[in-house]
Amino acid sequence: MTNVETVKQAYAHFATGNIPAALEFFDAALEWNECVGMPFVKDDGVYIGPEAIVSKVFMNLPVYFDGFNIAVSEIFGADDRVVMVGHYQGTNKATGHAFKANATHVWTVRDGKMVRFFQAVDTASINR
């Protein structure tokens, strides 16, 4: 499986709610860089390992948003870097605002495992 195929498969699992299958692609020491503008980030937004990512990010999505999903427009890559371009969609529970926010993820993939995640997202659209 190529690095691009690895990332595509992880997003496919996430989209169907099969988080355990998506986590299979995460390295045990995955470095996750979440935008500090996300409403649930109370620190620097850097989390290490799947357990921290699940508890600090994934478990907070339904707490802060209704109908949160990622609409993937494209996934492409070169060497060990893979980029996802798309949108976050949902409704901010605190404000009642429905959003469609630009989102870009940059992954580093080594030996079939995702080892680093960097997020760039329009948090202003989310937090309105």
Residue 83 CA to residue 114 CA, distance in Å, equals 12
Mean pLDDT score, 46-67: 97
Supply the pLDDT for residue 45. Answer: 97
Return the pLDDT at 103: 98
As a whole number, mean pLDDT of residues 47-52 equals: 97
- Across the range 103-111, mean pLDDT stands at 98
Question: What is the model's pLDDT at position 33?
Answer: 98
- Domain total of the chain: 1
pLDDT at 55: 96
> Rounded to whole angstroms, how far apart are CA atoms 37 and 64?
13
Domain containing 70 equals: 3-126
The domain spanning residue 88 has which CATH number? 3.10.450.50
Average pLDDT, the chain: 97
Mean pLDDT of 66-77: 97
pLDDT of residue 99: 98
> pLDDT tens, 12-41?
999 999 999 999 999 999 999 999 999 999
Helix (H, G, I), strand (E, B) or coil at 8: helix
